[in-house]
């Protein structure tokens, strides 16, 4: 692995994906810390940034995985970053939302059920690497927004 290459350094999540234990989780943990800062953006700007970083990630992840000769190397975590950030889109900047999003995103990403697994296997190169995490993020986002909607309905109105 050529960590001196800036593209690889991005793909490895500034080194977080090089963790010897659970690199996807380590990369997602750093993404969660970065979310704390990114969540200050207005939602439209946040979503635009996630979209731009996801599109860049197709090339970043595809280039690095191709160079390593692997389909989706565990050290490549840029896709975990964008997937988690999608999962947390529009949610309040609170530790419990971040934690819930982190857990749900990792669950959907690891089990690769339904469309997550399909995207991982059916789409080529960087598209498959990024798409499966974005789908896992979207699934987590739906669950989180349902929890949020239920919580708001149960809260008394002022």
| pLDDT tens-place string over residues 20-69 | 999 999 999 999 999 999 999 999 999 999 999 999 999 999 999 999 99
Q: Is the pTM of this model over 0.85?
A: yes
Segment 91-121, tens digit of pLDDT: 999 999 999 999 999 999 999 999 999 999 9
The tokens for 3 are 């960590």
Cβ(57)–Cβ(132) below 8 Å: no
């Amino acid at each position: 692995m050529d960590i001196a290459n800036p593209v690889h350094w991005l793909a490895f999540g500034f080194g977080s994906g090089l963790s010897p234990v659970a690199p996807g989780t380590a990369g997602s943990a750093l993404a969660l810390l970065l979310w704390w800062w990114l969540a200050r953006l207005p939602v439209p700007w946040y979503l635009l940034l996630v979209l731009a970083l996801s599109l860049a990630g197709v090339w970043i992840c595809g280039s690095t995985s191709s160079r390593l000769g692997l389909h989706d190397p565990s050290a490549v975590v840029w896709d975990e970053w964008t997937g988690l950030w999608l999962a947390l889109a529009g949610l309040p900047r609170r530790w419990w939302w971040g934690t819930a999003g982190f857990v749900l995103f990792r669950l959907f990403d690891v089990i690769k059920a339904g469309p997550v697994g399909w995207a991982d296997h059916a789409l080529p190169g960087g598209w498959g690497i990024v798409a499966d995490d974005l789908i896992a993020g979207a699934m987590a986002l739906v669950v989180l927004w349902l929890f949020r909607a239920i919580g708001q309905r149960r809260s008394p109105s002022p």
